[in-house]
Structure 1
Amino acid sequence: MENIDQRTVLTEEQDGAVARAIELGKRQIQQEIATGRIPPTVTDFATLHDFVDANEFGGLCEDEGEWNRLFPRTSAAEGDVFCEAANRVQDALSQWLSTSAERNALLVEKLIEDALNAACLSVQDGLKVSAGDVAGVFFSGSQKEAFQAMFARYVLCEISWMAQDEGD
């Protein structure tokens, strides 16, 4: 029986592919959260399967590309190496999901921009202002940064409350 602590040794090129797949997977998850396909409260890889085909994150299922080239599956041993590498990617993504608010970075950024635009539009409509020049100037530099920081805290607070509601 194989020792579970013993890991398959990958080549340097395979290790590089795993690292790139992890970074790609993070970006893909962020995009899916930002578009609403994945809730911002998901904190483990297994739960992603409730919303998307999570096995595709990181490019692991692409027919063409480096994973197909670096991890051929023409024998059981090669299949085992592929599975080990894929598990490393998925374990890293699961760890990242559980510990990083970065998973929601694109969503938070989008919501803040939408909130700023909606607030400015409301003021402009109420004042019957036809151009957004003043808003563009006013919400630049430190003013925009202050708004973004305040709304980021608010969005993260809402996500935290969502997570608590799901836990009940």
Structure 2
Amino acid sequence: MESNNDQRTVLTEEQDGAVAQSIELGKRQIQQEIATGRIPPTVTDFARLHDFVDANEFGGLCEDEGEWNRLFPRTSAAEEDAFCEAANRVQEALGKWLAASVERNALLVEKLVEDALNAACLSVQDGLKVSAGDVAGVFFSGSQKEAFQAMFARYVLCEISWMAEEEGD
């Protein structure tokens, strides 16, 4: 989205607040899309998001109802400029966050680590013909669970790093 003028449009305090909320919503939405597999965990460029989803929708920018339509009506050129400025700010912030933060993969890492722990426990329980997971629940609590999660999170991030390097080749 581009603004029609060369100067940055000044937004109201309420509009600035909506931009900040949209940035946080957009981050959560991107994390969710990565966790569900719609966006690869190696994507670090906002423009590449368009290969997988309609990235213009992140942050609620395209919702028909809600704050954006109220705060950014588009009935004049000046209002259109304000909308474009705000949308650009959201997308620029999401682009910087996506490029500089492993936080984008936080939900995916959390899900994969939990799946790994469950699979490992199930394998042991099946092999021992154990019908209940009570011991696993007790054993993998507190520091034991934290140690497992930390180790596997590092492993998942290592795999993602290798994926990114292979994509670069």
TM-score surpassing 0.5?
A: yes
1:22 to partner: Cα distance: 0.1
CA contact (8 A) 2:4 2:81 kept: no
Counting aligned pairs with the same residue, the percent is: 90
Instruction: Provide the residue aligned with 2:150 in structure 1.
Output: 149
Question: 2:83 & 2:5 partners in 1: Cα distance?
Answer: 17
1:5 to partner: Cα distance: 7.9
Superposed CA deviations along residues 6-57 of structure 1, whole A, max 9, x for unmatched, are 4211000000000000000000000000000000000011100000000000
Give the alignment's Cα RMSD to 1 decimal: 1.6
Q: Which moved more, 1:72-81 or 1:51-60?
A: 72-81
1:3 to partner: Cα distance: 12
Please report the TM-score for the alignment, with normalisation by the length of structure 1: 0.97
CA contact (8 A) 2:22 2:59 kept: yes
Q: Which moved more, 1:71-80 or 1:134-143?
A: 71-80
Moved over 2 A (4+): 2-6
Superposed CA deviations along residues 138-165 of structure 1, whole A, max 9, x for unmatched, are 0000000000000000000000000000
Instruction: Provide the residue aligned with 1:68 in structure 2.
Output: 69
Q: Which moved more, 1:87-96 or 1:77-86?
A: 77-86
Question: 1:73 & 1:6 partners in 2: Cα distance?
Answer: 18
Please report the TM-score for the alignment, with normalisation by the length of structure 2: 0.96
Q: Give structure 2 stretches of 5+ with no counterpart.
A: none
Structure 1 residues 68 and 22: alpha-carbon distance in aligned structure 2, compared to 1, 3 A threshold: same
Q: Give structure 1 stretches of 5+ with no counterpart.
A: none
